[in-house]
Amino acid sequence: MRIDRFLSNLPQFSRQHVRLLLIEKRIRVDGQVICDPHHEIRTFSRIELDDGVLQDGKPARYFMLHKPQGCVSATRDPEHPTVLDLLDEPDKHELHIAGRLDFNTSGLMLITNDGQWSRRLTQPQTKLPKVYYVETEHIIGPEYIDQFRQGIYFAYENLTTLPAELELLGPCSARLSIVEGRYHQVKRMFGYFDNKVIRLHRESIGPLALDSLLAPGAWRPLSDQEIQLF
């Protein structure tokens, strides 16, 4: 949101008043004097007028977690442990998950309190490749490669999946890259061939791969460089 818009939304300031505050250099965003009414601010920006605080600006938080099998990617669940239970962080209710995984899927999970950031990551237009290691009950034939590239028709949603890249690794194992996140997408794609997925592990989301030093259930904050990737 623009700073002039943020200020004029506050009940105490008229538009004229806002213009003056900016010209008079009385507004600071994250410690810096701002005169440009177009300056973009975020939920996490600290905004001050003279010596008073207009918006506190909580720090944005970003984590990578190695989701183990047998836990729910939700913030709360009455029956099972959730990925948030694994995270030893204050104010966990402020955090949310960017891109869920099924109960028995393991792998890279991103958790944040920055809604803009997670939206960029998960919105369909972004078409970020998500890479999965897959093991199946039956042999994965070479015909899967072309079929996944052409797309699989999902009757429930009445759509055909976008081209996906399949790399065969062994008779019953493969690496699949998809750019969407439909419900049970990978399992349903293999289901087209009546081949049950028995192990599913997300290795990466876009340019960010799961840190190989993170054991299942372990987590760490993202570095600034990793945050800037999205």
Q: Are strands 165-170 and 96-98 parallel, antiparallel or unpaired?
A: unpaired
**For the chain, what is the radius of gyration of the CA atoms?**
22
N- to C-terminal Cα separation, the chain: 19
The alpha-helical segments, DSSP class H, found in the chain are 3-9, 15-23, 83-86, 115-122, 143-150, 185-191, 224-227
Q: What's the closest the beta carbon of residue 165 comes to ligand URA, in angstroms?
A: 15
Which residue, 13 or 144, has its beta carbon nearer to ligand URA?
144
Dist. CA 110–CA 97, nearest whole Å? 6
**Cα–Cα distance for residue pair 192/8, rounded to 1 Å:** 55
Three-class SS state of 12:
coil
Give DSSP secondary structure letters for 202-217: EEEETTEEPPTT--TT
Piece of the chain touching ligand URA by CB under 6 A; list 48-56, 97-105, 118-126, 143-151: 97-105
**47, 186, 205, 210: which one binds ligand URA (CB under 6 A):** 186
Chosen residue from 41, 101, 108, 152 binding ligand URA by CB under 6 A? 101
Among 200, 205, 210, 222, binds ligand URA (CB under 6 A): 200
With CB under 6 A as the contact rule, which of the stretches 23-31, 45-53, 58-66, 101-109 interacts with ligand URA?
A: 101-109
Q: Toward ligand URA, which CB reaches closer, 54 or 101?
A: 101
The amino acid that residue 133 corresponds to is: Y
Query: Is 105 one of the binding residues for ligand URA (CB under 6 A)?
Result: yes
| Residue 140 vs 186, nearer CB to ligand URA | 186
| Residue 184 binding ligand URA, by CB under 6 A | yes
- Contact assessment for residue 133 and residue 173, using Cβ atoms and an 8 Å cutoff: yes
- Establish if 136 lies at the interface with ligand URA (CB under 6 A): no
Residue nearer to ligand URA on the CB measure, 34 or 72 = 72
Residue entry with tokens 């960029």: 120
Task: Give, as ranges, the residues between 16 and 75 that touch ligand URA (CB under 6 A).
Answer: none
Residues within the interface to ligand URA (CB under 6 A): 101-102, 105, 184-187, 200
